[in-house]
Amino acid sequence: MPRLFTALEIPAEIGQSLAMLRGGLPGARWVEPENYHLTLRFIGDVDGAVARDIASILGSVTRRQFDLRLDGLSSFGGRKPHAVVAPAVSGPTSIDSTNV
């Protein structure tokens, strides 16, 4: 049963800037920058037919370009965090390591 979520790809140059911040967490397993994404909505576990329907519908979505700004670093998973995240807010698309 597929586990689905909707997401946007992170531009390569921003992914590389974020990758430069990795480290300092013993035992961490880091995701490669080409797999970084901005999660929009977690859909959950669905059967194959529903997954195909969702993929078909989302494949036809077109939107205008928009700007986002990454606002610091955070984590989730409680006392034993299992993900480091960079929350996004509306704003310019440029990023440097002093703003993350």
Q: Which tens digits make up the pLDDT trace of 11-49? A: 899 899 889 888 877 778 888 999 999 889 999 999 999
Residue 96, in any domain of the structure: no
Q: Is residue 98 part of a domain?
A: no
Closest C-alpha among 58, 45, 40, 41 to residue 2: 45
Residue 10 lies in a domain: yes
- Look at residue 36 and tell me if it is in a domain: yes
Cβ atoms of 91 and 67 within 8 Å: the answer is: yes
- The reply to whether 49 falls in a domain is yes
Range of the domain at 33: 3-90
What span, in angstroms and rounded, lies between the C-alpha atoms of 55 and 52? Answer: 5
| Domains of the chain: total | 1
Q: In 3-state terms, what secondary structure has residue 44?
A: strand
pTM (2 d.p.)? 0.69
85 lies in a domain?
A: yes
CA distance 78 to 13: 30
- Residue 97 included in any domain: no
Residue 94 clears pLDDT 80, i.e. is over it? no
Phi, psi of 77 (to 5 degrees): 125, 10
Does residue 71 belong to any structural domain of this protein?
A: yes
